[in-house]
């Protein structure tokens, strides 16, 4: 027989997980050209992703992007410390094939947004800020 407090904890966890997913999906749907978000721990573990799932790889794309996002933030912060330019606000990567913005939401959670190359960087930044603002109370 389940412990009543255990059931409540599980229900709350599911509720928070669902709330996070709804927030990310809403912001993504409101931003044309945004391919998806990856929410990750600073240890590189995935929390939630709105990227399409690819079953062809051993490691999922959201697991890979979680590790990459945490690594990018860590490397950028180490670089900024060396040149006395902390704190890191956000990291922007632009390429001919797409754009990425990565930043921290809390000390232990980061977010990565991936977008088409035609998506204006300002729109991606606004989407990330909207997601961060909505997620702060849940994380």
Note the pTM of the prediction, 2 decimals.
0.84
Q: How confident is the model at residue 134, as a pLDDT?
A: 94
Q: 53, 45 in Cβ contact below 8 A? A: no
- The whole-angstrom separation of Cα 73 and Cα 54 is 25
Q: How confident is the model at residue 59, as a pLDDT?
A: 67
Q: In 10 A of CB 37, how many CB atoms?
A: 29
- With a cut of 50, which residues of the chain have pLDDT below it? 1-2, 4-5, 8-11
Check residue 116 and report its DSSP letter. Answer: -
Q: How confident is the model at residue 1, as a pLDDT?
A: 41
Give the CATH number of domain 4-135. 3.30.450.30
Q: State the angle between helix axes of 121-135 and 4-29 in degrees (0 to 180), rounded to the nearest 10.
A: 160
Helix (H, G, I), strand (E, B) or coil at 75: helix
Q: How confident is the model at residue 87, as a pLDDT?
A: 93
> Taking the domains of the chain in order of start, what are their residue ranges?
4-135
Q: How confident is the model at residue 138, as a pLDDT?
A: 87
Q: How confident is the model at residue 113, as a pLDDT?
A: 97
Sheet strands side by side (includes 98-104):
46-49, 34-41, 109-115, 98-104, 91-95
């Amino acid at each position: 027989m389940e412990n009543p407090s255990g059931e409540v904890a599980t229900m709350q966890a599911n509720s928070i997980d669902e709330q996070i997913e709804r927030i990310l999906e809403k912001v993504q749907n409101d931003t044309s050209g945004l391919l998806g978000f990856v929410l990750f721990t600073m240890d590189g573990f995935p929390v939630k992703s709105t990227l399409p799932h690819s079953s062809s790889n051993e490691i999922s794309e959201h697991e890979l992007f979680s590790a990459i996002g945490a690594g990018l933030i860590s490397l950028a912060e180490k670089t900024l410390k060396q040149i006395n330019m902390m704190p890191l606000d956000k990291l922007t990567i632009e390429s001919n094939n797409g754009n990425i913005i990565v930043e921290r939401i809390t000390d232990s959670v980061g977010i990565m947004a991936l977008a088409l190359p035609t998506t204006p960087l300002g729109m991606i930044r606004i989407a990330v800020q909207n997601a961060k603002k909505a997620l702060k109370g849940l994380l």
